Every structure is written in C-alpha cells, then in structure tokens.
Amino acid sequence: MLAVAQIDYIRHEVNQKGETYASIGRRMGIDPRTVTKYANQEEFKRKEKQRRKSPVMDPVKPILDKWIQEDLKKKKKYQRTAKKMYQQLIKFHCFTGSARSVRDYVAKRKRELKAKLEEVALPLESVPGTAQVDFGTAPFKYESEVIDLPYLVMSFPYSNSFYFQVFPSENTECLLEGLQRMFHYMGGVPSTIRFDNLSPAVKKIFSKGERELTDTFERFVLHYGFQYEFCNPGKGNEKGHVEAMVKYVRNNFLLPEHTVVNLDSFNKTLWTLAEEDRDRLHYDKQVLQSRLYEEDKEHWLMLPEKRFECIRWEEVKADKYGMVSIDTKQYSTTPRFAKQKVRVAISYKEVVILNEQNHTIVKHKRLYGVKRKSMIWQPYLDLLSKRPRAIKYSSLYNQFPSIWTDYLKNCTEEEQKIALRLIGKLLKNNDFALLNKALEVAILHGHPSADEIEHCFYSILHQTNTHASIEPTIAVPSMPRATRGLSHYDAFFQDGGISS
C-alpha cells in the first residue's frame, strides 16, 4: 500500500498533467501496473487513524494550525520554525509540553495542508482567495477621436467582486503592469489565478494541455508565487465569472464613452468605483459582497519585498538612419548607432534604447495606434549642425517634415548650420508643429534667414502678430530667378555631363 502523498502524486501527474503510467513508474521506482491501479481507481477511501486525546497538545493545536496557515502565505525564509513556535507557546500560552511534540505536529500538519491544497478540485467560484483575469474593450474619447481601448479585469468569484484598469493595448507589458498594480493596491496576491489562453502569457499550446509561456510572464509568476490555470482551448466558459464581469464593467462603468486626457490619472479613479460596487448582497449567498471580499483577502499570498520589473528586453540592429523597429513601430537612437546593435527595454508606456554598457541613449514614449515613428531629434541635430554635408548622414534630411527638407536643400552650407542650430534651440518635445507654422509664415516673403524664422516663431508663440509686418523695405529691380543652395551642382553630373 502506497502512502497517501504518493497516491495523490500519481493521480495528479497522470490525470491532471497527462503523464504516462510508465514515466511515473520509472520516476517513483514502482511497477507501472501499480500506477495504473491508483490513477484509475474510481472509489478511493482513506483509512482514518484512531486519534488519541492529548491533554497537553490538543489546546494548542488550533493556535499552531493558525500559525502554519499564516506562514504558508509567506516565502519560506519568512516562515516560523517549529522551534520558534515552541518558544512562542511557552512565552504566550503557558505551554508545558515538549519541543519534540510541537516539532512532530508542525511537520505533520504542514504535510497535510500542502496535500490538501494540491488535491483541491473545487471550481474557483467556490474557493476564497482565487481570481480570474481577462481583457475586454470599450470606446473612449481620446484626442477628439473615439477609439476602442482594452481594459483588464480581475474578478474574485467567491465574493463576486473585481478590479479593472484601462490600457492602450493587450500586450504582455500591459497585462503584467495591470496585474501588478492590482496586487499592490490590494495588498496581496490571489493564491490561484485562471486565465484564458492570452497571447501575452502563452506562446504555444501543446497536446495534453501543456503550454509554453512567454518568458516575462513566467518570471512574473515566479516573482509573485501564485498558481496559474489556463482554460482549455475553445472553453471560455471555464472562466465564466470574469467573462460576465467584463460585460458588467463595460455596461456599468465605461458606457457611454469617457473622455480620457491622461490614462494613468483616469485609472486611479477606477479603484473607488470597484470598491463601492461591493456594497450589495451577493446574488446567491445573500451576504454583502464586501464581507465576502474580506474572506477572499484572508487567503491571499503576501506581496514580495520588491515590485517586478514589467519590462521586455530585446537586442536589435539599427538601420542606416539609426532607427530600430519594435513591434512594427520605428524608434530613433542616434547617428552614432547607425547599423549597430542596441539593447531595448520595453515597458507598457516607454521604450528605452541602451548601449552595451546599459547606459541610456534615448527614451521614447511607446507608440500605439496609427502613429508609426518616434524621433528624438536632438542627437541628429547636434551632428548635422556641425557637418551638414556629411554624406553618410545627409539622407537624414528626409526624416524632417517636408517643409523643412525643402528649405534646408535650398540653404547654403553656412545657412544650414545656423538653421539646424535654430531647430535644436526651438524644438520642444520633438513637436515640429509650431516650427512648421513659423517657417510657413517666413517663406511668404522669399527665402528667410534663421533670424526671420525665429522672429516668426516667437511672434506666433506669444500671439503678438508682429510677423505680419515683415515685408521688403527696399525696392529691388526684377532679377533673373536664382537657384540657392548646393543642389543645382547635381546638374553637372546628370545625363553624362555638360553638353558642349
């Protein structure tokens, strides 16, 4: 007769994980027929040992049970030893028994509690301290446009409560950022969390239900220590509670569409909405959901000392312009790193480019939606203002707004240097909008100097309208049209040279 723990192990490995009888037999050093017997046994009765009364230990067993259950929520290094429990019993509970009795009882109860946790087969709806997670989508007004944004819902089936946060995407970084926010706001981690087969968490599903998890998600799970479960493919009903809660959140809190200016600020308002919703009776248990939620909390795991770094790391090669491609979006580095490899740290809202020594080169706001390119111009402007005719980097002019590309091509080399320094001086947050408007006004009177562009810029910025007074002050006779800049020299080398 095998021990209970061995039989439980066989049943779990074969029936839950799909392991073969032979592989389990080899692993445990027993006959595969024995494995088959216990894995497929329909009725399994445990033999109860006769319990003897213990006048010394019986009064303190509930105390020890409470301590053991508290410690099982903590990392092993923070758990009390049996010796420490014995000392506390003597000090605070006038215990007169032996250290060996305490040590034996603690070891036995830990084994029993761990085995009980492993063999739990109740639906998550019945188990306090568990959660389900899924994304939904809802419309939002953002920058004068109505767009669909995903929101992450974590529901607690036992108490019928939830939390939710809105994100710009359903990628891995947004999923983990949302989970982490909820853990730290709640002050604990659900013991078990059930997911759909979300691509941010699952790379591939194999036969027999095995899954290959994304690296970042796998490290996140290890960091916070919760057990994860995934629905079987096509079985969304296995997480029916969170699916219902996704609809509930949309209908009650996100419609009609909200106007969002700052997503982080908006998300801070959502905690209170979720908490106020608990002040109602549970649909089945007829108990306040807020009270059931407190029972949920009692079964959560403790938070680790440090937060998880919800970052995906990649090593990519920059193109000839020093641009790198991340998730089909383009981000600038500097001209120095053209055609060089760089490291990229990708969070839900930021893309940081680093060199081999992990020193930051540039930081970008992460792009979502239709915008395809993010340029941090300063490193390029510094180089171009010193060497505007450098052949290696001259094609970078094509990265400028077209109005500036045309203007710079019609400048002399000295004018280009001055103009590029002016752009570097006036460009704020890599937004050319005001500079473009200043140049549009300045070129109304011909090819403008950098001083004239700067005058128009500050005139528009301060709304003084003094740029409207810019006009030629001297009558100049009509002259033949002249071509400015260096581009006309290309004519000497076109069509086989100069015709005689």
In the prediction, which pLDDT does 326 show?
A: 96
pLDDT value, residue 206: 72
Sequence letter at residue 333: T
* Residue 125: predicted pLDDT: 63
Q: What does the pLDDT read at residue 234?
A: 53
For β-strands 211-213 and 202-205, DSSP reports them as: antiparallel
Pick the closest to residue 113 from 71, 146, 148 (CA basis).
71
Length of the chain: 500
CB 192, CB 229: distance < 8 Å: yes
Strands 192-195 and 227-230, by their bridges, are parallel
In the block, which residue shows the tokens 């060199």?
A: 355
Under 8 Å between Cβ of 102 and 89: yes
Q: Hey, is 361 helix, strand or coil?
A: strand
Mean pLDDT in order along the chain per 10 residues (500 residues): 77 81 88 86 54 79 85 75 89 89 88 66 72 95 89 96 96 96 97 88 75 90 91 63 95 94 95 96 93 95 92 94 94 91 96 93 93 88 75 63 88 88 85 91 91 92 68 50 58 50
Give the other-Cβ count within 10 Å of 203's Cβ.
Answer: 13
Q: What's the DSSP call for residue 360?
A: E
Going from the C-alpha of 237 to that of each of 61, 196, 210, 318, the distances in angstroms are 41, 10, 19, 45
Measure Cα distances from 95 to 55, 64, 165 in Å: 11, 12, 50
* Contact in structure between 429 and 463 (CB atoms under 8 Å): no
**pLDDT of res. 217:** 93
Q: Are 174 and 282 in contact (CB under 8 A)?
A: no
pLDDT score of 395? 61
